[in-house]
Structure 1
Amino acid sequence: MADVKDLDIFLANRDDTATVVSSLILAPNTKPEEKSRKESVSEIIANILGLKTASEIVETSPMSKYGMDSLMCIELSQKIMQEYDVAVSVDDVPQMSLQDMKRIIAMKKFNVVDVYAKDNYEDYGVSKSQILKRVCDLLQPRPENSFCVKLNDTKENLSPWFFFAALGRSTYLYEDITSLLAAPAYGFQATDGDTSGSIVERANKCAKEIGNRRIVNLVGFSFGAVLAIETALQIQTEAEKINLVLIDSSHTFIPQRIKAHLKHSGHMELNVMATYVRELLLNRDFRDIFNVLSRCLNTNDRIDEMVRMARKISPDCSRINLTKSLLRFAKGLKVAIDYVPASRLTCDVTLVMQSRAQSKDYDVGEICDGRVKIVRLDAHHHNIVFGKRGRQIAKIINNIGE
């Protein structure tokens, strides 16, 4: 997974402290009536520079190479705004090439639409503000002391349930479930300072936090299901009973989805980034996101574009927080892809699946000697823990605990 490693190195060395402030006077956004077509960017540049033909411009050469002064930069910035309704900073023009400007203009055609229109988020069974809050938690910092958090106010008179966060997310995602549980609930989530590597190492940290208990109750959704499975494997020889609930996932769920994306393109970095953005833009098609990012020239540009996408739902999203979140996500995705259970589950498993899933049991039966109970809900992967589906899952869990 060299591309993600390269991404790690890039982000670790990224200096995001400098802020450049610039201003420009916008040209009137009007065009002469007799004009039949837009000037190409190369024609605009050639006219400003006084070149005979646009063919004299090398696509990859910066404007500074052609002696473009500050007044010319202002004129070029204004002309691009007038012709294409795209803002290019005057301060950036000298370092930009013709290729850079073409890319910026092309990206305007692929803007991410507001995917949280009324007809999209109603199916989640909760309000738009609640959806956005839970989605945007992907972007929030995770201090080390937030590794294990209390998820409800239920008194400690029953064996607690331990929830494992989905990839990159906090356990706040489980709110519609944990608020209705008869037993106390705790959640495990990755932190920014977490140095744990493999799934085995991460699960070991969770197992130590759980401690020695006669009855252990575990719940995992998506990536959290992988951690729940490995944690169960590590403690099953010590615990008298384990209740394991997997929500629309298993040890093979994430690898199979990534492999399906890789059939579309073998570019791992792009797939990781597009998968991350897909977690933010819940109803946006993966291929649309992938195509937008693939038009960026390099990793730096892709991250800039991801920030722009994220600000569609979180206007205050910073580049620093997004890159930290992306790293957390990429590392988790890699270890999930690499994970193979070393032994078999001896406990019973309750697998809550979306009704549209084509798989029989996400391969859980292949690693489980106990009984696998399948419960199918009218849901899809991104809304199965929300609203009425969350309440249905809470009822299932409460019945197990009785």
Structure 2
Amino acid sequence: METLIAFAVTLAAITVASLRYRLPPFLTLVGASILFGLLSRMPAETIVTVATTGAGRIFTLLGIVIFCGVGIAQVLRESGRIADIVADIRGLVRRPLVTAGAAGYLLSVPLMCGITSFVILAPIITHLSFDGRASRTLLYCAGVAGMISYVLLYPAPVVYSTITALGLSGRPWDIDLVALPLSLLLLAGLLLAMRGRMPPAEEAEEPATRRNHRAWLPFIVILGMLAIGSFVPHLHALANINLALLAGLFAALATVPGDVREKALHKGTKNAGIIIFDLAGAGALGGVIAASSFPADVTVLVAAHLPLIILPFVIAALVQAAQGSRVVTAAVTGAILATTPAITAINPLALVLMVSAGALMFSYVSDPFFWLLKRTTGDDFSAVVRNYTLPLSAAGIVTLAAALVVQAVL
């Protein structure tokens, strides 16, 4: 059980380093990964190996995505085209909060990544309101909404990983018969909870008249490639999100003057580098924790003291808190549960919902998206906890309640 103590100490150290000393996330998280490894009595060479592997895994998954997403955003800023996009949106939708929430919710599943959809949407969402506080509310709304659909809906990677790891047969789309209305209910609750933070005047603003549809070209290219790659078998490679975003970035660069292109790439590369390093730090910590005996220790502790019916939820929540990646949480939890009586004692639909519920819990310092939101909004540590961690945890509790209802009824 040493890893459980090490985990608690590490979380406390990260919190102190972030709040009191304001150390940069990359340095804090890499240091925390070494601290956890030492407290868990892992060999020094192993700590370095798994930390760099974890950081590399995040770079592999998100390096191109972040660079291209930030690059497109910077091109739009430097060329003044964000104003054109916002003008188009205001001409159709007068409620920025609904726009942000719906966009985050809808894009995260086809893009197969809540972070990717947020990176694409952030520069537009930021300009939907002239009020700084309201802009941050819109960013949080889009981020949380995207995570709700990403974690609950099939075929997004979280539910897919859970079903695969548990070896569940049958019709996987059946999960959406419950998960879809549940996710929409959570989205509605999120919008109602955040509505009071938006200035009333913004809800009734007159539509802007300026139109320049060339500003939409990068997004048309990205979504067009994803759609073609998804529906045309011989062009399936186009559905690769890295390739689609690269094409979107080139499309954005091709339509602006040389001086704008140079300035956008200079600033975009700098901003993308900072974000990628922050995310890689979270990957390093998650890699060390996942390579330790933490998952096994959690299983033993939970199985000995808690009812079998909530075992999947608790294991998933603790694994999520430990390493941050929701897909990893689903895969690791599924692998653990496959060796326990829970796999046969709990309704498969309820089982999947419980793992998803756990993956929504404790989205804290090991979660790369936590740090991306912190940097994008410019908020302090505690504000990100209030506006991101707690709303997702509330969604996790509601999802757990839905799973228990399914277990009792079906």
Relative contact order: is structure 1 or structure 2 higher (C-alpha 8 Å, sep ≥ 6)?
A: 2
Instruction: Choose between structure 1 and 2: higher strand proportion.
Output: 1
Q: TM-score, normalised by structure 2?
A: 0.25
Instruction: Choose between structure 1 and 2: higher helix proportion.
Output: 2
Of structures 1 and 2, the larger Rg is shown by 1
Q: TM-score, normalised by structure 1?
A: 0.25
